[in-house]
Structures are given as C-alpha cells and as structure tokens.
Amino acid sequence: MALYRQDSSRPETPAVTLSNTDDVQALGLEVDRLKLIVLSFPKFTDGRAYSQARLLRGRLGYKGELRATGAVFLDQLPFLLRCGFDSFESDQPGFGEALHRARSLFSVVYQPTEDGRLPVSALRLASRQ
C-alpha cells in the first residue's frame, strides 16, 4: 500500500483511526490535539467516510492530516479532495499521477464544501455585482 501525503513533513502523531460507523462528533475538542485522523473505506462504494470528513473539517474545525485508507481508487479523488482528505493510502497503479491531475479535472464545482473552492453560485453572484 503506497502512501500519498500532501505534506510529508508534518508530524503523524497523535493519531487516531476511526471506523466508518464511528460518530466523529464524539471526538469534540480532542481534534485540536490530533495531527492525523485516518478514515476508512471498507468498499469504495461505501461513502460514509465522506460525511465523516466533512463533519471533521466543517463542524469540528479539524486542521490536521486527514487520511483515506481501504478501498481508495483514483476515480474517487475529486470527491475525496473536496471533502477535505489530504492524504491517501492506495495500491492502484497511477494513483500518484492522478492525484496531481485530480484538482484540475473539474474547473467548476457546484457545492460549497470545506475545500475553499468557490462554488458556481458564488462566482455567478460575484460577476453580477
């Protein structure tokens, strides 16, 4: 399993690994202390960790590394990035290259998420003013 980290100089502890049935909100203030949270995709069609990621980033304001592990394939990357993942374990050939391209695959996004990209609705509003 190869590991792809956005920032390889960051400390990896303290860390916690969660199951995709865990309630991430139970971590509460604990997230401020954590440097790495690992979320899992038992099957790539099981999308619970996307919600966990958004709650961690958006609701709890988690700033550390957020890693996807398990069935992680390159075609999920645009979604994973938008939900706040910034580190990935995957054994799929070509994953690293795909990661480089993933952000530019779609120049347009419709949803506001925690990745900081401006959704189309905001761009339209700005261009109208």
Point out which residues bind another protein (CB under 8 A).
44-48, 50-52, 54, 59, 73, 75, 78-83, 93-94, 105-113, 119-121, 123-125, 128
CB of 16 to another protein, least distance (A): 18
Q: Which is nearer to another protein, 3 or 105 (CB)?
A: 105
CB of 106 to another protein, least distance (A): 5
Residues 6+ apart with CB under 8 A from 127: none
Q: Which is nearer to another protein, 15 or 109 (CB)?
A: 109
CB of 14 to another protein, least distance (A): 25
Q: Which is nearer to another protein, 32 or 46 (CB)?
A: 46
- Is residue 42 reached through a cis peptide bond, with omega within 30 degrees of 0 on the bond before it? no
CA separation, residue 108 to residues 82, 115, 121 (Å): 12, 13, 10
Q: Which is nearer to another protein, 10 or 59 (CB)?
A: 59
